């Protein structure tokens, strides 16, 4: 039987054509994948199987000068997302965000926003919520199939055993603020790192942070680590830092200051205690306080609002950031300037009749009857305003020239006023030493002799921080050495070996003759020990030989029933008078008289220094 051969129909030919075209496309794709782009796809496949991951370093621990831990690390867990491991399908990702949101009590849109912000670095986990409980971390890990791309990280957080007692000094850590993220990532930080935000945690960030490790691991399709292949770089924990603060003295000082505030109905106060021999800050109290543990675990919106809206600003360290008129505590600077500039000698006696009228304006002494004839030592002891008006601005009745604001400003800055001390803590204020030029620029006003008078007694536009007052007092006590205040002595590793040391630093030696310093110190001793001294009756002859100076600073506010302005209470002092070791400065906002409110606190803190055996 003959075979009949028919020509293919057009439909069959078209089908052959489609098959042939598909085959050619397939060959093209195979060529592209295996030959043209083979190395690229092999590399991607290897990345999906083998990755280099980073391992966070433990932050260094903080110790006080006696070896007590004041900041340490405690276990914590973080839920994060690695964008590279998320489902490719948009709907599946949305389902994941919904599911994860229910578990973490977050809105899906919030999670999606986190992922969007991390697209430029898809293999680095982006923090979604921190901290989470250990139980919740285990639930997510055990159900990893339901949470592709979700990573549970062990991320220790800070714990501060003393809480509010050292809140402003230590500060706290937190996620890198958005405004600093780009800069920090350029200097080696990762998106999900934490860093010190304020206080010691911020100032010693470089020492405390350590360096992260890197290791090569094998992961499965869900991004889970299945095997550790190699350690490329070991993790280096941060250095421990030893502080100069003594926690026991800090606690006693805070208790004494708080009690004084309560009696005076004050809402704000600060205290600084320093070692006069090297500038060590032994105690630094700022009230009201805040608990930095609130920030360690991620502060709530309500707590942050409460702290930030508080008119007395607990988040500010007023010991270094608060600026107050120093009042009569500044009179030692005025005395030093007048003595060194030969305006008066230690033996020069000036008459204090109770008031002085210059250019049609009457300036009164705090003692209406006056103090009679007083020399430098007596003027410091009784805090004679007329004496210090005279040596600062001159006296037209006696033709005695005063120091003048230019020279007085020089001496004020030599004692550390009007400049930051260099203390390694953020937030230190400069204070203000006014001048003729400053007044013209800031107030558009001329300078008058009355301005000299006001600055001479620590009033007017003169402003100082409690730290500056303490440092001034320490310099007088030690004979004229102004130290850079020191807040840390050394770093140590985990075994206690010393790494870096922070040696005492001298800012300057004051060019004031020893006999002039001696006269000022004798006057400060009489403030406490002489029956005419301004703190004699308030301190009731303390057993410790204290030298000091009271201050009562007027400021604008509601007048009292007698028509007087409200006042801050101040006291600066040191002990022992014969062999000075420790100085203290106390400022109580709206605290009334310095002798009644601030002086007893300072005296008790000085006594506590010795009773506690601070070394």
Domains of the chain, residue spans:
76-151, 247-611
Q: Which sign does the torsion angle of CA 131, 137, 143, 145 carry? A: positive
Structure tokens at 589: 């906002």
- Asked if 589 contacts 266 with a C-beta cutoff of 8 angstroms, the reply is yes
| Residue 193 predicted with pLDDT over 80 | yes
Name the DSSP letter for residue 342.
Answer: T
What pLDDT score does 121 carry?
A: 78
Region 61-73: mean pLDDT is 97
pLDDT at 23 over 80: no
* Contact between 571 and 383 (Cβ < 8 Å): no
Among 133-142, 162-171, 304-313, 544-553, which is the least confidently predicted range? 133-142
Lowest mean pLDDT of 65-79, 120-134, 350-364, name the range. 120-134
- pLDDT for 42 beyond 60: no
Position 46 confidence tier, pLDDT thresholds 50, 70, 90: very low
- With 70 as the cut, is the pLDDT of residue 39 above it? no
3-state secondary structure 354-417: CEEEECCEEEECCCCCCCEEECHHHHHHHCCHHHHHHHHHCECCCCECCCCHHHHHHHHHHCCC
Q: What is residue 3's predicted lDDT score, i.e. its pLDDT?
A: 53
For residue 41, name the pLDDT band (cuts at 50, 70, 90).
very low
> E strands within 416-535?
481-484, 488-492, 498-501, 505-509
Q: Assess whether pLDDT exceeds 80 at residue 562.
A: no
Quick one: pLDDT at residue 541?
77
How many Å apart are CA 522 and CA 541, to the nearest integer?
A: 16
Task: Give me the pLDDT at residue 378, please.
Answer: 98
Place of tokens 């990762």: 190
Quickly name the fold that domain 76-151 has. Answer: Ribosomal Protein L30; Chain: A, (3.30.1390)
The answer, yes or no, to whether residue 447 has pLDDT greater than 70, is yes
pLDDT value for 552: 96
**Segment 86-95, tens digit of pLDDT:** 998 999 999 9
Res. 154: pLDDT tops 60: yes
Percent of the chain whose pLDDT exceeds 70:
92
DSSP type of residue 226: E
The confidence band for 341, taking pLDDT boundaries of 50, 70 and 90, is: very high
* Sheet containing 213-219: order of strands: 50-55, 213-219, 225-233
Give the integer Cα–Cα distance in Å for 296 and 513: 51
Cα gap 126→150, rounded to integer Å: 9
Q: How confident is the model at residue 43 (pLDDT cuts 50, 70, 90)?
A: very low
Picking from 174-183, 251-260, 546-555, which range would have the lowest pLDDT averaged per residue? 174-183
Q: What is the DSSP secondary structure assignment for residue 432, as one 8-state letter?
A: B
- Any idea which of 203-217, 453-467, 581-595 has the lowest mean pLDDT? 203-217
Q: What is the mean pLDDT of the chain?
A: 91
Q: Is 463 a residue whose pLDDT tops 70?
A: yes
Contact 527, 548 (CB under 8 A): yes
Query: CA angle, corner 250, sides to 275 and 65, nearest 5?
Result: 60
pLDDT, tens digit, 9 for 90 and up, residues 499-558: 999 999 999 999 999 999 999 999 999 999 999 999 999 998 788 999 999 999 988 877
Which pTM value belongs to this model? Answer: 0.88
Q: Token digits for 235? A: 């993790």
- Of 563, 538, 562, 560, nearest to 549 by C-alpha is 538
pLDDT of residue 6: 56
Provide mean pLDDT across the span 289-293: 97
Domain 247-611: state its class.
alpha beta
* pLDDT at site 45: 46
Confidence class for position 214, pLDDT limits 50, 70, 90: confident
């Amino acid at each position: 039987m003959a075979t009949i051969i028919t020509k293919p129909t057009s439909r069959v030919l078209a089908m052959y054509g489609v098959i042939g075209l598909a085959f050619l496309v397939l060959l093209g794709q195979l060529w592209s994948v295996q030959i043209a782009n083979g190395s690229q796809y092999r590399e991607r496949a290897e990345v999906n199987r083998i990755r280099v991951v980073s391992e966070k370093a433990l932050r260094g621990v903080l110790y006080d000068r006696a070896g007590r831990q004041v900041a340490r690390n405690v276990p914590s867990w973080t839920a994060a997302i690695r964008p590279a491991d998320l489902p490719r399908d948009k709907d599946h990702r949305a389902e994941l965000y919904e599911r994860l949101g229910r578990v973490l009590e977050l809105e899906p849109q919030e999670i999606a926003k986190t992922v969007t912000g991390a697209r430029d670095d898809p293999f680095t986990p982006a923090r979604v919520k921190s901290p989470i409980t250990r139980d919740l971390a285990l639930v997510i890990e055990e159900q990893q199939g339901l949470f592709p791309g979700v990573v549970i990280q062990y991320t220790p957080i800070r714990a501060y055993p003393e809480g509010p007692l050292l809140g402003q000094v230590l500060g706290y850590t937190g996620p890198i603020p958005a405004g600093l993220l780009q800069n920090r990532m350029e200097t080696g930080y990762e998106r999900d790192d934490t860093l010190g935000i304020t206080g010691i945690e911020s100032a010693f960030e470089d020492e405390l942070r350590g360096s992260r490790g890197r290791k090569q691991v094998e992961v499965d399709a869900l991004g889970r680590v299945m095997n550790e292949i190699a350690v490329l770089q070991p993790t280096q924990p941060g250095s421990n830092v030893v502080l100069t603060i003594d926690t026991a003295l800090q606690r006693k000082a805070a208790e004494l200051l708080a009690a004084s505030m309560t009696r005076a109905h004050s809402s704000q106060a600060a205290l600084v205690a320093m070692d006069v021999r090297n500038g060590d800050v032994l105690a630094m109290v700022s009230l009201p306080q805040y608990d930095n543990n609130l920030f360690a675990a991620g502060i709530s919106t309500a707590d942050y609002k409460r702290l930030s809206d508080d008119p007395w600003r607990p988040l500010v360290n007023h010991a270094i950031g608060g600026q107050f008129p120093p009042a009569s505590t500044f009179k030692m600077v005025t005395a030093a300037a007048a003595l060194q500039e030969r305006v008066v000698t230690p033996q020069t006696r000036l008459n204090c009749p109770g008031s002085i009228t210059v250019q049609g304006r009457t300036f009164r002494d705090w003692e209406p009857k006056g103090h009679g004839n007083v020399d430098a030592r007596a003027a410091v002891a009784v805090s004679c305003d007329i004496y210090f008006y005279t040596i600062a601005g001159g006296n037209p009745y006696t033709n005695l020239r005063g120091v003048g604001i230019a020279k007085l400003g020089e001496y004020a800055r030599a004692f550390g006023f009007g400049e930051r001390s260099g203390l390694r803590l953020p937030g230190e204020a400069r204070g203000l030493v006014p001048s003729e030029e400053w007044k013209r620029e800031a107030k558009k006003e001329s300078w008058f002799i009355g301005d000299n008078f006001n600055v001479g007694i620590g009033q007017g536009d003169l402003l100082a921080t409690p730290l500056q007052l303490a440092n001034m007092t320490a310099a007088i006590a030690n004979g004229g050495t102004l130290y850079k205040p020191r807040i840390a002595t050394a770093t140590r590793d985990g075994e206690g070996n010393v790494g870096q040391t922070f040696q005492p630093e001298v800012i300057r030696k004051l060019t004031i003759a020893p006999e002039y310093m001696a006269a000022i110190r004798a006057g400060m001793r009489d403030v406490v020990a002489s029956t005419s001294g301004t703190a004699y009756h308030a301190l009731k002859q303390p057993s410790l030989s204290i030298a000091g100076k009271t201050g009562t600073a007027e400021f604008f506010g509601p007048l009292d029933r007698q028509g007087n302005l409200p006042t801050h209470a101040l006291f600066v002092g040191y002990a022992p008078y014969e062999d000075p070791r420790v100085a203290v400065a106390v400022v109580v906002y709206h605290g009334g008289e310095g002798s009644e409110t601030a002086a007893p606190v300072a005296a008790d803190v000085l006594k506590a220094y010795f009773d506690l055996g601070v070394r």
